[in-house]
Structure 1
């Protein structure tokens, strides 16, 4: 972190925000269109993990948003897979 970068002037991670939105969409699609929760969850998880890596390496802001995106994405993936298997396989 540069000496001139204060927490107010640090850049926010766009990947963290995208991960949060995709993870939340994966969570919401569990109720509406559960197979899409798998797609949004996988993309949200990948984006969230990339965001956490960028936040660590480049000192961006947005760690909480990235973690929330990863958690929502994992819930969307796991529950979406269970619901999809129960509907289409069993």
Structure 2
């Protein structure tokens, strides 16, 4: 996990993702529904900072969902490591 965001989702998109959640559900507790990572989205962000709470290492600042990519599958998504490379290459 790199971060959590729901900013940028319009009601229709959020409703569709919520309706699809039971199909992808792998477990749940009182506050969380766990789903298989199959939906690809484009996420924009303004900054990146190391975080002890994010398992991947960096945390995104002001992250927001730009759009969903239904034509792509999870295997085609960029790896979390590519986000970290942005800071080491001076991309941010």
Structure (1 or 2) with the greater helix fraction: 1
Determine which structure has greater relative contact order: mean sequence separation of CA pairs < 8 Å that are 6+ residues apart, divided by chain length.
Answer: 1
Structure (1 or 2) with the greater strand fraction: 2
TM-score (norm 1): 0.25
TM-score (norm 2): 0.25
Q: Name the larger-Rg structure.
A: 1
